[in-house]
Amino acid sequence: PGPQLPHEAGKKNIVVLGSGWGATAFLNALDTTEYNVTVISPRNYFLFTPLLPSVAVGTLSTRSILQPTRYVTRHKTRNVKVIEAEAQSVDVANKTVSFIDNSDIQGSVSSTTLPYDYLVYAVGAETQTFGIPGVQEHACFMKELNDAEKFQRRFLDCLESAAFPGQSEEEIDRLLHMVVVGGGPTGVELSGELHDFLEEDLKSWYPELAGRIKITLVEALPSVLPMFSKRLIDYTMSTFKESKIDIMTQTMVKEIKERSVTLAMPDKSISEMPCGMVVWAAGNRNRKITQDLMAQLPADQTNKRGITIDESMQMKGTNGSIFALGDCTASSHAPTAQVASQQGAYLARAFAQRAKRDALQTQVTDLENTLAMTLHDDTQKQVKEEAESARRALAKFKIRPFTYSHQGTLAYIGSDKAIADLPLLNGSLASGGVLTYYFWRSAYLSTLFSLRNRTLVATDWVRTKIFGRFYALFA
């Protein structure tokens, strides 16, 4: 890293909330020469979410898909402050953010407020529970790193309890029944990974139990993976059938209890399904801080799905002081990593343009001030011309709007098979199978932000092939 310049009083302050896909892509691409930048996020690392289900079953190690936020910021021209804290509120009128240190260890100060000129708001979303009883208490989520770790602990606990001497047959079947709620890509990918774990590892580690492990995927809609083409949905359904993963569509989870889930079946009857553990992958909802932020602008922020932004990602109603991106926004794009990272990179470029525009504005103001002074006729003419030309350049200055370029949708479905809907010049290509799986692997490997992560993930794949997953779970 080169020499880092300190924060400077004359520079505009950008405060970035979040260290996920949107914020990290923004920080990666941002030229900090003209800005003082502060990042605030409750986690001081970036998490590569597409490979989280692989971590849950031990195919990959936890550390392989994390990248410290300071790894990105330490290479910047100007010192970027990274604060591990959770933003509690944004005051739109006074342009301030209040945040707290809610980690286990705290100093004598654990809450404060910072002013901003520009706020880059990328706090993502949280798991949607629809207020369904028992979800928070009894289910595992699959969104953050600790969700994958909790999943590992519970899953192994179910296996060991099933192996406990004297366990009844009925209880063994209950403990070994894994229910995944939500047939979106998260639920499908986790079910596929779980199946691989069962086939490739558990059969040799728990031979007496492996044959009795059952995976059920419950989806309220008529089909899983609605964002994929019909052919790939059918392919996934038939692969799951071969893999003995039960898919229950048009079935809605109404309650989760300690030892069962309550289901509303397609015929509207209510059924109780015993199970050892439940993974809840039923989609996203906005965080409270986002709802509170939107509530400050009732006339402009009326979309219940999230923050309304314009084509340059300015939050409507904030006069260009707040830019929102990623899962916390309601736009025409799906809430995906692909969208959030393109938005982050775009916003960084737009800030570079904004810095040029601000420099032009300063030039115009300086020249106008000079003109106001009594000058020699020749100088007056020359300054007038310069001011006119700077004004024209400023009038022409337009920050280009964001355009999304869809690179395709990929998902791993287990048994060394993946599905891909890829845009082509003359339409699209829907492909599924083992070759697509290698494409899936290489696509994610190249998307990982650092060489270190790429090396660790590739090494983990080799490690899993040679030694299996089980050791990783005890690491």
Residue of 30, 55, 60, 123 that binds ligand FAD (CB under 6 A): 123
- Tokens at residue 394, please? 């400023």
- Residues 6 or more apart whose Cβ sits within 8 Å of residue 154: 140, 277
CA end-to-end span of the chain: 32
Element (H or E) spanning 196, and its range? helix 185-197
Query: Closest separation between CB of residue 349 and ligand NAD, Å?
Result: 24
* Closer of 58 and 185 to ligand NAD (Cβ): 185
Please say whether the beta carbons of 311 and 343 come within 8 A: no
Burial track 219-253 (b if 16+ CB lie within 10 A, e otherwise): bbeebbbeebbeebbebbbebbeebebebbeebbb
Residue in the shown chain whose Cβ atom is closest to ligand NAD: 184
Asked whether position 290 contacts ligand FAD by CB under 6 A, the answer is no
Q: Which residues pair with 423 in a beta bridge?
A: 428
Task: Count other C-beta atoms under 10 Å from residue 362's C-beta.
Answer: 11
Site string for ligand FAD, 140-179 (x = CB under 6 A): --xx------------------------------------
Taking Cα atoms as reference points, which of 68, 61, 29 lies closest to residue 47? 68
Part of the chain binding ligand FAD (CB under 6 A), chosen from 43-51, 172-180, 191-199, 458-466: 43-51
* Closer of 119 and 413 to ligand NAD (Cβ): 413
* Closer of 282 and 348 to ligand NAD (Cβ): 282
Asked whether position 37 contacts ligand NAD by CB under 6 A, the answer is no
Residue count of the chain: 475
Instruction: Identify what 276 binds: ligand FAD, ligand NAD, none; CB under 5 to 8 Å per kind.
Output: none
Distance, in Å, from the CA atom of 84 to the CA atom of 75, rounded to the nearest integer, reads 19
Taking Cα atoms as reference points, which of 359, 361, 351 lies closest to residue 120? 351
Distance, in Å, from the CA atom of 285 to the CA atom of 283, rounded to the nearest integer, reads 7
Query: Closest separation between CB of residue 397 and ligand NAD, Å?
Result: 35
Residue of 124, 326, 335, 432 that binds ligand NAD (CB under 6 A): 335
Asked whether position 260 contacts ligand NAD by CB under 6 A, the answer is no
Distance, in Å, from the CA atom of 321 to the CA atom of 184, rounded to the nearest integer, reads 35
- Give the position of tokens 């022409």: 396
Instruction: Identify what 390 binds: ligand NAD, ligand FAD, none; CB under 5 to 8 Å per kind.
Output: none
Asked whether position 435 contacts ligand NAD by CB under 6 A, the answer is no
Query: Closest separation between CB of residue 87 and ligand NAD, Å?
Result: 22
* Closer of 275 and 339 to ligand FAD (Cβ): 339
Site string for ligand FAD, 326-345 (x = CB under 6 A): xx-------xxxx-x-----
- Residues 6 or more apart whose Cβ sits within 8 Å of residue 58: 152, 197, 201, 464, 469, 470, 471, 472, 473
Calculate the CA dihedral of residues 461, 466, 472, 473 and round it to 10 degrees.
110
Site string for ligand NAD, 376-415 (x = CB under 6 A): ---------------------------------xxx----
Residue of 39, 65, 202, 252 that binds ligand NAD (CB under 6 A): 252
* Closer of 124 and 468 to ligand NAD (Cβ): 124
Residue of 61, 62, 284, 331 that binds ligand NAD (CB under 6 A): 284
- Tokens at residue 466, please? 């040679």
Element (H or E) spanning 418, and its range? strand 417-424
Asked whether position 17 contacts ligand FAD by CB under 6 A, the answer is yes
CA 416 distance to own-chain centroid: 24
β pairing state of 126-127 and 139-141: unpaired
Taking Cα atoms as reference points, which of 6, 41, 26 lies closest to residue 118? 26
- Binding residue count for ligand NAD, defined by CB under 6 A: 27
Instruction: Identify what 326 binds: ligand NAD, ligand FAD, none; CB under 5 to 8 Å per kind.
Output: ligand FAD
Instruction: Identify what 284 binds: ligand NAD, ligand FAD, none; CB under 5 to 8 Å per kind.
Output: ligand NAD
Calculate the CA dihedral of residues 205, 208, 211, 214 and round it to 10 degrees.
-80
Residue of 181, 190, 367, 457 that binds ligand NAD (CB under 6 A): 181
Task: Count other C-beta atoms under 10 Å from residue 470's C-beta.
Answer: 17
Asked whether position 40 contacts ligand NAD by CB under 6 A, the answer is no
Asked whether position 182 contacts ligand FAD by CB under 6 A, the answer is no
- Binding residue count for ligand FAD, defined by CB under 6 A: 32
Asked whether position 86 contacts ligand FAD by CB under 6 A, the answer is yes
Asked whether position 342 contacts ligand NAD by CB under 6 A, the answer is no
* Closer of 145 and 387 to ligand FAD (Cβ): 145
Using CB under 6 A as the criterion, which residues of the chain lie in contact with ligand NAD when the complex forms? 50, 132, 181-187, 189, 218-221, 227, 252-253, 281-284, 334-336, 409-411
